[in-house]
A and B are shown apart, each in its own frame.
Chain A
């Protein structure tokens, strides 16, 4: 099936020096005019044999998963709709990034930041996204700060202790007692563990943890649930 190629993406291919942009099906080392060569004169339109490079798109399974959140369960999605939306996402990223990058250049900065991205979205009409994205970004930053400070490590560790531990006393301060709402937290911790919670324990073991944490370490094995 011949597929239309986005205008913008074609232009980027023409400028790009990356070897991965255009591939012929039978010979991946073939340096024909299909290659995006910066020195060559403007190349002819991409030949029908061009293979769709997957690494310039979001993985289609992820795209479909997000689509299914919106669609009713009986809805079906044609393959061309899936691919079209997949292409639209990449085009969206390029579109916003282009605007953000122009702003960086005007202000003589080299790095495109999260703020630049948010600004570009506002400028290009995606204002509705700004608030939820700002909330998301702030939560991410909070979580990073928690991870990066030793206080955060202890805090996380103590909370894990509450979650896993029924082996014995930890010596936790009163706020973490029985009145503390922990029900919904377990899911989060499991996910955090999957994400790399093991790293916290390595750090904690190596760092100068407080005596509270160390006593807790001695009394039970925090990994028992995760082995």
Chain B
């Protein structure tokens, strides 16, 4: 019902534009016919006005053409078509996200099963402690052996290069 009202309103608009145009012509000839500037006025004002009128009528009547039954019968299918597309896109996105969540849930359940058989942190701490203690470390003041003589290479020989090999810099 709303759409048919719009159609009626468009028809009325076209009629109103036509009426206005003819009134304009009548008044124009009534007041300017006696003067030589009449024809110049016609050229300058009538042509663009005619063009605007033609475009407006063409635009309005195009929407009223019978070749687009959907818009004539009801705008709702046209609107729902675009909203249907949006729903489909949203649906796919939600489905993908849902799938990811279900996969995440499966992974978490697997991890919960594994954690039941897992040893406590103290075992890992003990292993780490043992590993660290046993390895020689050149950066420590107190360390296990054996010492590598290369550890002190940084303090042997000239510390600054005499020249740079790279000519670019």
- A in complex with B: no
